[in-house]
Amino acid sequence: GVAERLGLGYESLSRDNKGLVYLSVSGFGQSGPYSKRPGSDSVAQAFSGLVSVNVGTDGVPHRVGTTISDVVTGVYAFQAIATTLFARATVGTGRWIDVNLCQSTSALLGHKVAEFILEGGTPRALNVPAGTYQTQDGWMMVTLVNEPQYKRLCSAIAREDLASDPRFADFARRADAADTLIPQLREVFLTQPTDAWLKALHAADIIAERILNPGEWLRNPHVEATRASVCQDTPGVGAVYSPRTPGIASLSEDDLCPAPDVGEDSRAVLMEAGLDSAEIDGLLMSGAVRQARAMTGGKTS
């Protein structure tokens, strides 16, 4: 939209930018029959196929319960900008980067596209009986990636009969008989608390873990020991916790400044840009620039 208002086309920006790096983020992209359609995180999850592979126990396809399309689009956009800046530093040219929510979410599902093509349609469920199971006091995730793990799982839950049953002999047959197998496992897992099951499953070298909510994750001893989260005291808000950015080589995030209020740094930014106090005052008076109100006692005055 901005490029169009400037009278610039995609090809001209891509070809004649002379070092300009310009990023566009949209729902469906800058071209194609859907380019003018409104988009959102939920729409991107639906269009990309993500919702179709996230079917609940109620048989209904659901959106993932976080803004995963928004987040992954930001990650892909950052990746594209970083590589483009590197290219500009070496060859001296920039480009117009077109990143959109639907394509970014689809990129996460490359393996699902491959499965769909290779199996000629909707593929079987993978790694049955991997999945979520309720225990006496919560929920846990159990994952299988090879055949020996299934036999060890059956032994760990004292159901060796499920390992010898020919209907459950391998992943393919277990997928076909999932409606028979999984209810039996659910019944077993309800008999003990999560910690007891995790102890037994881990002893059998089965991949399993308690299902945590974000608050439980934050207080988890492993998260605390590895300093996987960072806390920043933010004026007007208090302590704000967030996961550390993956791949950061040091603990540099410990020294980040709190997120500024809208307009908090307006005057400093404009002065750095070369405007004098009178010009800045004029912009503030006209409403063209916003300046944050003063903070007193941790609250906005």
For 89-115, the pLDDT digits (tens) are 988 888 999 999 999 999 999 999 998
pLDDT score for 7? 45
The answer, yes or no, to whether residue 296 has pLDDT greater than 50, is: no
The answer, yes or no, to whether residue 291 has pLDDT greater than 70, is: yes
Instruction: Name the residue with higher pLDDT: 266 or 57.
Output: 266
pLDDT band at 235 (very low <50, low <70, confident <90, very high): confident
The answer, yes or no, to whether residue 16 has pLDDT greater than 60, is: no
112 sits in the region (left: phi over 0; alpha: psi -120 to 50; else beta) called alpha
The pTM of this model reads 0.77
**Tokens (6 digits) for 274:** 């070369």
What the chain holds in terms of domains, given with CATH numbers, is 2-118 (3.40.50.10540), 131-211 (3.30.1540.10), 221-255 (no CATH), 266-300 (no CATH)
- Please, how many CA atoms are within 13 Å of residue 298, restricted to the half-sphere of its CB? 5
Nearest to 79 by CA among 243, 247, 250: 247
pLDDT score for 15? 52
Distances (CA, A) of 265 to 100, 272, 294: 30, 11, 12
% of the chain at pLDDT higher than 90: 68
Give the Cα-Cα-Cα angle 133, 134, 137 (nearest 5 degrees). Answer: 145
The count of residues in the chain is: 301
Nearest to 243 by CA among 96, 7, 66, 108: 66
Question: What mean pLDDT is predicted for residues 165-177?
Answer: 96
Radius of gyration of the chain, Cα coordinates, nearest whole angstrom: 26
Q: Is 28 exposed, middle or buried (0-12, 13-18, 19+ CB in 10 A)?
A: buried
Question: What mean pLDDT is predicted for residues 36-42?
Answer: 95
Nearest to 107 by CA among 88, 127, 80, 141: 80
Largest CA distance in the chain: 84
pLDDT score for 251? 62
pLDDT score for 298? 42
pLDDT band at 294 (very low <50, low <70, confident <90, very high): low
